[in-house]
Amino acid sequence: MGSILGLQTTESLAANRSNNARRKVHYDYPNSRAPLTGLLSLMDDSETLTDSTFGWYEEAWQSARSITAQVASGGPFATTSAGSTAVSSAITIAAGTAFFVKVVDVEQFRVRDVVQMTNMLYSTGSGTLTGWVTAITGSVLSVTALEATPATVSIATGNNGKHITVIGTATGEGDAALQNGRSTEPVLISNHTQIFRTTVGPWTGSALKMGQKWDSNPKYKKDCKDGALRHMEVLEKAALFGVRRATTTTNNNGITVPVRYAGGVEYYIKQWDKGNTTNGGAFDYRVGGSDLSAADWTLDSSEDKRGITISSAMTSAQMNELIRRSFQSQSDKSFEKLVFCGDRALSVITQWAQSKSMAMTDLNPKEESYGMSIKKITTPHGDWLFKTHPLFKENPYYSTRLMVLDLGDIAYHAMDGRDTELLTNRQNRNEDQRYDEWLTEATFEIRHPRRHMIIDGLTSILP
């Protein structure tokens, strides 16, 4: 059978299940409380680390575009290229007329660019406004109209946040080259390794003297299994909800040592919505972009927002819009997104799919989905694969959550020699007992948060 989410096939998992402890646990207990950690164990290309901080570079290329910004307390049109005063009276733009417009990210534009502003409001109706850039001052573009507008252009704030896109360049014959090319540097993103420890035992010295080999005792095997499942659960929670931080603590020997916390998917989505360090974020994902943390996700200006909170019943059109946005950017693994969901959220999605005559199919657990129950909806943008997450089912807050993940941009990295392992005889030498320990030192690489999404509060979808 073919693979899902760009991972290895179910047959390959069966043949290679003993390659690491995490994969073996997932193979033996596919419906445990750690499905993401289990799926990440199926990746063979995870880099082993020799440093407690792991960094990677991201460069999210997109077509040159931005949105119009507010001038003073008015709309996006300024009286001069200085951009300090908003136009206060109606604008009538004929072909060849110059005007000044403020944008959020001026770095996207160059002199000679042909730009188009869409869905602009006029005195009657709406339409496009097209022109070429003749100068750039600060965050203001000096633009000359290519064609007359069908009506007077509105100067109200309703024209703030409209998309402005480069649709070409135009140069006069024999003109000299300009020295204002576009050059961007990749952004360094990082995460810390976290030390996860789960004790197995302890067992008293008397219990260890039972009349059989202790390590083959059913009680020991059960304790190790329970410890492994709990260990995978805390890895899972860190991968989903962990917050990236480094601090210090005093250990048992009275020595001050580092303690590090790994950030998970939710953390990096929040950083993406923050946008940049100027807005209080940890990374410069969207230089010059606005903080979308509290923005209304239904607005066009919030199209890049990936932390979605639903405060009332959604419409079917809004649900389709969120699916579209989830596939705006895509890894090269597959056109599939894994959707962890609560049971209430899955019920809403199932009813919605039925009302729209959308086929929701069940993947074959033995041949297609590694023993897990996964349902698939095919949309014009790509496939959503739904997996009810046990941790979401048990918490009423998460029961209405959808966490949309592009597994092609999530990876697990263990410190060299510190991947998940059962270490035996961890007790002190003078203790009349024994305990073992599951230990992992690892981190998570959450690339391109724009390719992931969290939807909270999904309680109903209107027709």
pLDDT given for residue 448 in this prediction: 94
pLDDT computed for residue 42 by the predictor: 85
Residue with tokens 């959550």: 401
Cα–Cα dist 66/63, whole Å: 9
Q: How far is CA 415 from CA 54, 55, 178, 193, 196, in A?
A: 10, 13, 49, 7, 12
State yes or no: cis peptide before 202, omega within 30 of 0. Answer: yes
Which amino acid would we find at residue 35? P
pLDDT digits (tens, 9 = 90+) for 32-69: 889 999 888 887 667 889 999 999 998 766 678 888 99
Which tokens is 395 given?
């918490």
For residues 41-78, b (16+ Cβ closer than 10 Å) or e, as one string? Answer: bbbeebeebeeeebebeeebeeebbbbbbebeebbbbb
The answer to whether the CB of 342 falls within 8 A of the CB of 398 is yes
Residue bearing tokens 């705006």 = 328
The pLDDT tens digits of the residues spanning 383-422 come to 999 999 999 999 999 999 999 999 999 999 999 999 999 9
Please provide the distance, in angstroms rounded to a whole number, between the alpha carbons at the two ends of the chain: 36
Q: pLDDT of 230-282, one tens digit each?
A: 999 999 999 999 999 999 999 888 999 999 999 999 999 999 999 999 999 99
pLDDT of residue 26: 82
Instruction: Tell how strand 383-388 and strand 375-378 pair up.
Output: antiparallel
Q: How many CB atoms lie under 10 A from the CB of residue 15? A: 10
Q: How far apart are CA 291 and CA 299, in angstroms?
A: 14
In whole angstroms, what separates CA 42 from the centre of its chain? 20
Which tokens belong to 266? 């939710």
Q: Indicate if the pLDDT at residue 89 is higher than 60.
A: yes
Share of the chain above pLDDT 70, in %: 92
Q: What is the DSSP letter of 327?
A: T
Looking at every residue in the chain, the average pLDDT score rounds to: 88
Query: What's residue 1's pLDDT?
Result: 42
- Long-range contacts of the stretch 244-250 (C-beta < 8 A, 24+): 244/191, 244/192, 244/282, 245/192, 246/53, 246/192
Question: What pTM was computed for the model?
Answer: 0.82
- pLDDT tens string 339-391: 999 999 999 999 999 998 888 999 988 888 888 899 999 999 999 999 999 99
